[in-house]
């Protein structure tokens, strides 16, 4: 098995992880009716899945640094696929929450380990491939829409999504070559000195901003785009633009550097979010949304960027440590947007995205400070 086969074995399961985690967004109304619960109560499954992701990312990331990348990918893929599969038989709201905790547990762990594999497989174009990989989230969301069109009943829908994810993820993960053999001992937190701690804090703030910016765009825009006098058909355009933005951002980060690209795009995102807050809708609102979806591309290379920061012995754990707070805050960003400006979900989303990109810019400044701190481990 060569490098090309390994890339397929990483990229397709990554796309299927998005297919799994976004599936709930297609059937919120049906779940509300079937479980006799309000839509807001059903939507609490989203932050719960991010909490599961924070836990799973650290645990399976640690496993990847001890037992090897491929074993960790198998376990993560098995977890999220079975969780969606079992969600097809739930009867109570708490069962949905439990299922989606484990969906997040597996999805985010799979994503974190995948970044490490990409860094270890490739010497160049990591940002571009990372952008392609992260952009597959838009494709996974699109596959959910297609599947739901064909199978509109929520139980059958979850059954199909779970089975497809299970069969393809486990079979394709077999293609991945082991990029890091099992080790008896890892470096753990002993690797951290002041310099790396500050760099990690800066990267974490950037990732928090990326999650807090991207999650409301994918989760909430479908709910308010019609109120902007725009057809829901524009969602397909925005999704494809977001995918393009991820590719372009990854490519630019290879050429101009990760930090410079992140700062430029988060600045663009902040300005376009302000425009969305001030406009009422129509094509002016569509322009603001388009710029926001495109600028969200700085999320695309954050996983690769984090993985490049740490040595192989601590890479998967360190990457998931960077993503820990981002996953939790990102999971609650939809609720933040809803409560920040209750009279308008559009304005609430815009204000949340302004806060998100402000955090990302502050994180960039902290990252620069960290790079200037002298390492206690020597040059």
What is the predicted pLDDT for the residue at 50? 87
What is the predicted pLDDT for the residue at 188? 53
Taking the C-alpha atoms of residue 111 and residue 57, their distance in angstroms, rounded to an integer, is: 8
Q: pLDDT tens for residues 189-225?
A: 566 678 888 999 999 999 999 999 998 887 788 778 8
> In which residue are the tokens 């939809």 written?
334
Whole-Å CA distances, 218 to 138, 274, 318, 379:
9, 18, 27, 42
Residue 147, number of CB atoms within 10 A of its CB = 18
DSSP sequence for 95-109? HHHHHHHHHHHHHHH
Q: Please report, in tens digits, the pLDDT of each residue of the chain (379 residues total).
A: 577 888 899 999 999 999 999 899 888 889 999 999 988 898 889 889 989 998 998 899 888 888 888 999 999 999 999 999 999 999 999 999 999 999 999 999 999 899 888 888 887 788 888 888 888 888 888 898 889 889 999 999 999 999 999 999 999 999 988 877 655 445 555 666 788 889 999 999 999 999 999 988 877 887 788 889 988 788 888 888 988 999 999 999 999 999 999 999 999 999 999 999 999 888 999 999 999 999 999 998 998 898 888 887 778 888 888 888 888 887 788 888 888 998 898 999 999 999 999 999 999 999 999 988 876 655 4
Check if the beta carbon of residue 64 is closer than 8 Å to that of residue 184: no
Residue ranges of domains in the chain, CATH in brackets: 1-179 (1.20.1250.20), 192-379 (1.20.1250.20)
Q: Tell the burial category of 95 from Cβ atoms under 10 Å away from its Cβ (0-12, 13-18, 19+).
A: middle
Q: What is the pTM of this model?
A: 0.83
Q: Which of 287, 292, 204, 299 is nearest to 246 (CA)?
A: 299
What is the predicted pLDDT for the residue at 376? 60
Range 164-167, long-range pairs (CB < 8 A, 24+ positions)? 164/16, 164/19, 165/16, 165/17, 165/19, 165/20, 165/77, 165/80, 165/81, 165/84, 166/77, 166/78, 166/81, 166/82, 166/85
Taking the C-alpha atoms of residue 70 and residue 173, their distance in angstroms, rounded to an integer, is: 7
């Amino acid at each position: 098995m060569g490098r090309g086969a390994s890339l397929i074995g990483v990229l397709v399961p990554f796309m299927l992880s998005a297919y799994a985690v976004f599936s709930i967004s297609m059937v919120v109304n049906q779940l509300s009716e079937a479980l006799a619960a309000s839509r807001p109560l059903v939507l609490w499954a989203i932050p719960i899945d991010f909490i599961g992701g924070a836990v799973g990312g650290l645990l399976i990331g640690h496993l990847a640094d001890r037992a090897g990348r491929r074993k960790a990918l198998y376990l993560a893929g098995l977890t999220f696929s079975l969780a969606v599969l079992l969600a097809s038989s739930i009867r109570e709201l708490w069962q949905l929450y439990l299922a989606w905790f484990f969906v997040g547990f597996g999805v985010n762990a799979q994503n974190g380990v995948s970044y490490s594999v990409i860094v270890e497989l490739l010497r160049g174009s990591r940002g571009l491939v990372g952008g392609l990989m992260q952009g597959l989230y838009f494709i996974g969301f699109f596959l959910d829409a297609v599947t739901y069109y064909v199978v509109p009943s929520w139980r059958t829908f979850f059954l199909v999504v779970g089975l497809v994810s299970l069969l393809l993820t486990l079979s394709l993960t077999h293609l991945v070559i082991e990029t890091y053999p099992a080790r008896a001992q890892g470096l753990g937190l002993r690797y951290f000195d002041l310099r790396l701690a500050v760099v990690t804090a800066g990267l974490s703030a950037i990732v928090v901003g990326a999650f807090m910016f991207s999650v409301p765009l994918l989760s909430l825009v479908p709910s308010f785009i019609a109120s902007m006098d725009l057809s829901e058909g524009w969602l397909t355009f925005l999704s494809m633009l977001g995918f393009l933005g991820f590719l372009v951002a990854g490519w630019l980060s290879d050429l101009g550097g990760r930090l410079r690209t992140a700062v430029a795009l988060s600045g663009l995102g902040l300005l376009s979010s302000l425009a969305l807050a001030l406009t009422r809708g129509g094509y002016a609102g569509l322009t603001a949304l388009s710029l926001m979806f495109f600028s969200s591309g700085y999320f695309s290379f954050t996983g690769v960027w984090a993985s490049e920061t740490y040595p192989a012995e601590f890479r998967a754990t360190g990457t998931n440590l960077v993503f820990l707070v981002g996953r939790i805050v990102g999971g609650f960003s939809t609720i933040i947007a809803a409560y920040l400006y209750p009279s308008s979900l559009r304005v609430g989303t815009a204000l949340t995205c302004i806060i998100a990109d402000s955090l990302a810019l502050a994180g960039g400044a902290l990252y620069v400070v960290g790079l200037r701190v002298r390492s206690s481990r020597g040059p």
